[in-house]
Amino acid sequence: MDHDATSPVAAGTAPVRDDEAADRLGLLGRRDFSLLIVDDAVSVRQEVRRLAGRLGVFGTCREAENGVEAYKRVLEAAPDLILCDLVMPGVDGLKFLALIRAREELRDIPVILVTGKTDVETKIRGLELGASDYVTKPFDAGELLARIKVQLKIKALQDELRRSNELLQELSSTDALTKLFNRRYFMAALGTEFERTDRYGSPLGMVMLDIDHFKRLNDTFGHQVGDQALRGLGALIHDAVRTTDIAARYGGEEFCMLLPETDLEGAAEFAHRLRLGVEDKTLLVDGHEVSMTVSIGVSACPNPAVESGDDLIRLADDALYRAKRAGRNRVMVSER
Ligand SMILES: [Mg+2]
């Protein structure tokens, strides 16, 4: 028998000391969780909303009266937790569960099924469909809140883990000073891009840049000014490249740019613009006006002399060396 018509809370429920438990689970102080209550009975929705409110951790609480409406709410904004009735007209709890579990981005939202049904088979089906937990009506308020807290704790840990992984990913591919990609990432990207060029014959340009007399700059103004100069150049390069280009700090004062779908002529044009851009820019660092110039080497493929990404780098590096030898502040293009 479904208890939708009457109060969903069992009589004689003991008072809950929410703050203590919330604190133990590390949820205290958080007000940013979002809750979705799905039930066809308005009395149940109100009661669950009232109880959940006692936890003080929900910043938003939305309601839906059937599976279709609930699915719409979830697509509008994914909640941190769903409390879902099992028996509802139309799309019921199990169908709703199957709908959201079918979508990769919604798979991790915890769903507690709240129902009057006590038969084991339905419970098993719900759990198999991905329900995180089960509460049977009439429920004990303390039990419901305890189960909500456990699911929120799991959700919070999952979110934290995801953020850590994203940060780790960013840190492992980014140069901390310039925020451009680091050498490790650049080499991996070069492998991928070279393979594409090799297979489809699409052009790939390589630009290698080195700051002229960087050591002199460091010796004159100190390393902090040197770092600022590197940061400023990083920002300039970042603004100059397209989103499909890969710009990296390759070494100390050396930068590399990989330009997909760009031939030798196009890469050389880009390099000339970049050289002028650096020359024209004056960095104001700690009251010092710092201007710098760069030498640039350019290479590209397809090219009979290029059989690997390393060959592409070697040719650009050779051209860069010639630019330095010829007096710096200039662009040299690979001869082959
Ligand atoms: Mg119902």
Tell me the CA–centroid distance for residue 86 and ligand 1, in Å: 6
pLDDT value at 19 more than 90: no
Give percent above pLDDT 90 in the chain: 69
Contacts of 295 (CB under 8 A, 6+ apart): 209, 210, 212, 320, 323, 324, 328, 329, 330, 331, 332
What topology is assigned to 18-167 in CATH?
Answer: Rossmann fold (3.40.50)
- All CATH 3.40.50.2300 domain ranges of the chain, comma separated, are 18-167
Q: Distance, CA 93 to ligand 1 centroid (Å)?
A: 9
Distance 2 CA to ligand 1 centre (A): 7
Distance 3 CA to ligand 1 centre (A): 8
More confident site: 50 or 336? 50
Dihedral of the alpha carbons of 149, 154, 156, 162, in degrees to the nearest 10: -170
Lowest model confidence (mean pLDDT) among 66-70, 157-161, 192-196, 323-327: 157-161
Q: pLDDT tens digits, residue range 257-301?
A: 999 999 999 999 999 999 999 999 987 777 778 889 999 999 999
Q: What is the pLDDT of residue 13?
A: 46
Active site residues: 253
Residue 335 has pLDDT above 90, yes or no: no
Question: How high is the pLDDT of residue 120?
Answer: 82
Domain spanning 183-333: CATH superfamily: Reverse transcriptase/Diguanylate cyclase domain (3.30.70.270)
Q: Please report the pLDDT score of residue 269 as a whole number.
A: 97
Confidence at residue 246, expressed as pLDDT on a 0 to 100 scale: 97
CATH 3.30.70.270 location in the chain: 183-333
Please indicate whether residue 176 or residue 285 has the higher confidence score (pLDDT).
176
